[in-house]
Amino acid sequence: MPSLKAIRKRISSVKSTQQITRAMQMVAAAKLRRAQDAATQARPYADKLSEQLATVAARIPDPSTNPLLAVREQEATVDLIVVTSDRGLCGGYNANLLRTCETFLAEKADANVRLTAVGGKGASYFRKRDIEMFEEHSGLAAGPDHPLAMQLGQRVSRDYAKGETDAVYVLYSKFQSALTQTPTVERLLPVTDTADDDQSEAEPESLVEYIYEPDPATLLSRLLAQYINTLIYRSFLEANASEQAARMTAMDSATSNASDMMDRLTLEMNRARQAAITTELMEIVSGAESLKG
């Protein structure tokens, strides 16, 4: 059995750890509220932009002439943007994302996948496994922001238009609730779902003529660029909310486990102290008896 001094030292250490985890839980909860509001507010904007994009595409005789709407027959080269956290202590958040990434890479084994790691944990994971990265963005203290989304959006759009890549995907954790975050792979390019699926819905309005400034084709190109940037930025917001939710849940579990551990250690300390007291009493009684004899 450990000594009383060792047990007390361990209880003090666990108590200090609990104070840290409780503080981190409170910080993550405060950040989660802001991140959740930002992610929720971005969804209607992205949906409305998608609707406007479909409306403009439906009024162009052949929208597929736009390079961002052209579908390649085969995905020989694929861009994958993986959004992970820059720090740990968020439970299985990064592990679930990277497991989904491994599944995606296995499915695209015949293609040349150009990985873009956003977040230090993803970059470290690929670096340790000698997986070549096309781009790396880590050390983001406040998380990935809008300028980075625009930078990535312009780069993937330019590469796709030049034919250097055949498809662009983004992997991020979609925020469902404080307890549920779902790793999601979303295709960014080519933009087919919005332009094609909603075109039939826009047909009843096709007789309505709008005055465009500039012309519809130019407007479509600008909307497509904005659409790609918005989708990437929305994935950043969803990932940030998911990260804070996962960290809050993990720190709450750690705080609870620390309380349970302190209870067990306190019980063990009391038993050790009682045993020590009993031993001392036995020694005193034995000494008194020996003096009588």
Is 90 known to be catalytic?
Answer: yes
The radius of gyration of the chain from alpha carbons, rounded to an integer in Å, stands at 29
> Is residue 175 exposed (0-12), middle (13-18) or buried (19+ Cβ within 10 Å)?
buried
**Active-site residue identified among 39, 78, 90, 248:** 90
Strand-pairing partners, residue 135, are 116
Cα gap 236→142, rounded to integer Å: 11
Phi and psi at residue 86, in whole multiples of 5°? -90, -20
Rounded to whole angstroms, how far apart are CA atoms 287 and 293? 10
Rounded (10°) angle between helices 216-292 and 93-107: 130
Residue linked to tokens 């995907």? 169
**Contact, 77 vs 165, CB < 8 A?**
yes
28/34 Cα distance (integer angstroms): 10
- Residues annotated as catalytic are 90
